[in-house]
Amino acid sequence: MPTARISACDPEPAPHMPKPFARPPDCLPPPPPRRPAPSVPHPTPASTPAASNLQPPKKAKPRKPKAGNEIQNNDLRPHVLAADCLRTWTSPYGIEHDAEFRSKLPDEVVEKTYAALIASFAPNTQENYAAGLLRFHQFCDKFEITEHARMPASHFLLAAFIAQHVGEVGGGTVKAWMSGIKAWHDINGAPWEGEDRWVELARRTANKEGSAFKREQRGPATIEHLIALRAVLDLSIPFHAAIWAVATAAFWGCRRLGELTTPSLEKFSPKLHVTRAARRKRITSNGTRASSIPLPWTKSTRDRGGTLILTARDDDLCPEKAFDNHLRVNQGVPAEAPLFAFVDKNGNWSPMNKDWFMRFCDAAWKKANLLRIFGHSFRIGGSTELLLAGVPCEIVAALGGWTSLAFLLYWRKIEHIVPMNIGKAYDKKKLDEVAKAFEDFRIANGISLPSADDL
């Protein structure tokens, strides 16, 4: 257990983390060969307690596919991890393109170029795109589409692929699959016909017929959720201190949980995840204290990053107090570790991951008989709370890193679920005031919005 005390709300035991801190792999690891080479066994070093603790994490091996995910593997589509499909699955076109590339430049330059191309996609995106490649090749195998016809894929083939799944999956799933297939074409330098009118029409039908598969709308986190969470926390416990710091930062800072948490130690990279070494700038304006912390990567801005802003409040839900407490209680965490990493009773540290965080929160809210919400609910709830409190739209948009248009579209998507989830905290008049503020914001920025049905 990575905390000093065990409670019903605590996560599963965290893996033992070595001390001192072992530097994670670089964001641009050498890519696997374009055509997989046989593995070469390496001698096993003598095992000592110190050596075994400091060994780098073992690379995961591909597992047996789940039912429905089977595919005919061959030299063009080797059995690899989902995250490696984008860079190891190829085609006759891809092989020819690769050969031409290698005929012009040294292999070292070629491999570094491929690494740069692959790294343009976030690690999770690389893994998610494998689903589109899997379904596309399953479709091609079923209808005996030749390898040469799969890349470049014609608009006939792409439209047919989409049509085959109309009514079986949601439009969002089809969109994600097509993004994966497009990325595969891009990496292999192949022309892309996915913008053809046939393909657009097929996707429109997939959106209409797949409405039954849409995910349940995520309601916002509320002040009641924060109060219930705070009630089960002992902020002198390192894990609890980190939980509270993440919760208040995500809520009042209107940030995504993925920008504040780390998937795992193995997937941690300072190029993607904020560390304790990040420069914290303190601000005081009109008697109000705040802090800004640079984020190296966000989902929307990618490597342009963003800013986490924590504004002090005169109550127990203050994100500034929560963050200061986290740094104090977890002062044993090294500067190069993730910002919200926590210390266990033995002095080892662990990154805070989203799964542990949400399972802890879920248990707290269940105990308080509150509506179960999701990770993105903090961002929704924080922006909603600030808007209802009268904070101008442009300030909230800047806080959460939205452009004016993106913020308006975002609000249009959630405005109908907010009144159902904020309880009696605000009356209809207050909601009407927010709606008017958004309309004034839209007019001031000269933005025309599509109808709600098109969002």
Q: Would you say residue 160 lies in a domain?
A: yes
The domain boundary, picked from 213, 245, 262, lies at 213
Question: Per-residue pLDDT for 15 more than 60?
Answer: no
Contacts by residues 356-360 (CB-CB < 8 Å, ≥ 24 positions apart)? 356/11, 356/12, 356/14, 357/243, 357/246, 357/247, 357/257, 357/261, 358/257, 359/11, 360/9, 360/10, 360/11, 360/243
Same domain, 196 and 277: no
Same domain, 119 and 252: no
* Interacting residues of 4 by C-beta distance below 8 A, sequence separation 6+: 237, 238, 239, 344, 345
> For 138-153, what is the mean pLDDT?
97
155-200 pLDDT, tens digit each = 999 999 999 999 999 999 999 999 999 999 999 999 999 999 999 9
* Interacting residues of 349 by C-beta distance below 8 A, sequence separation 6+: 17, 19, 21, 330, 332, 333, 334, 337, 341, 342, 343
Q: Would you say residue 302 lies in a domain?
A: yes
pLDDT confidence tier of residue 428, bands split at 50, 70 and 90: low
The domain boundary, picked from 158, 179, 213, lies at 213
Model pLDDT, residue 418:
54
Same domain, 178 and 317: no
**Domains: count for the chain:** 2
CATH number for the domain that contains residue 448: 1.10.443
b/e per residue 95-112 (b: at least 16 CB within 10 A): bebbeebeeeeeeeebbe
Which of 14-18, 19-23, 286-290, 326-330 holds the top average pLDDT? Answer: 326-330
Written as six digits, the tokens of 264 are 């795992």
Cβ proximity of 372 and 22 under 8 Å:
no
> For 333-353, what is the mean pLDDT?
92
Same domain, 283 and 189: no
pLDDT confidence tier of residue 6, bands split at 50, 70 and 90: very low
Same domain, 201 and 229: no
Model pLDDT, residue 450:
54
User: Mean pLDDT over all residues of the chain?
Assistant: 81
Residue 427 C-alpha from the chain's centroid = 34
Measured from the Cβ of residue 21, the count of other Cβ atoms closer than 10 Å reads 16
Same domain, 103 and 126: yes
How much of the chain exceeds pLDDT 70, in percent? Answer: 77
Same domain, 179 and 242: no
> For 224-251, what is the mean pLDDT?
97
How much of the chain exceeds pLDDT 90, in percent? Answer: 55
Measured from the Cβ of residue 270, the count of other Cβ atoms closer than 10 Å reads 18
Q: How far apart are CA 247 and CA 199, in angstroms?
A: 42
Q: Would you say residue 41 lies in a domain?
A: no
Q: Would you say residue 22 lies in a domain?
A: no
The domain boundary, picked from 213, 247, 271, lies at 213
Same domain, 300 and 448: yes
pLDDT confidence tier of residue 122, bands split at 50, 70 and 90: confident
Top pLDDT among 96 and 219 is at 96
CATH number for the domain that contains residue 117: 1.10.150
* Block residue for tokens 């248009």: 405
Q: Would you say residue 14 lies in a domain?
A: no
Top pLDDT among 99 and 426 is at 99
Model pLDDT, residue 45:
30
Q: Quick one: CA dihedral 105, 111, 116, 117, positive or negative?
A: positive
Residue ranges making up the domain that contains 393 = 223-454
Q: Would you say residue 443 lies in a domain?
A: yes
Same domain, 184 and 99: yes
57-75 pLDDT, tens digit each = 345 667 777 777 788 889 9
Same domain, 390 and 438: yes
73-89 pLDDT, tens digit each = 899 999 999 999 999 99
Same domain, 100 and 191: yes
Question: Per-residue pLDDT for 35 more than 60?
Answer: no
Q: On the CB side of 265, how many CA atoms lie within 13 Å of its CA? A: 22
Q: Pick left, alpha or beta for residue 410 (phi over 0 → left; psi -120 to 50 → alpha; otherwise beta).
A: alpha
Q: Would you say residue 99 lies in a domain?
A: yes
346-401 pLDDT, tens digit each = 888 999 999 999 999 999 999 999 988 888 899 988 988 888 888 888 888 888 88
Q: Would you say residue 204 lies in a domain?
A: yes
Same domain, 139 and 240: no
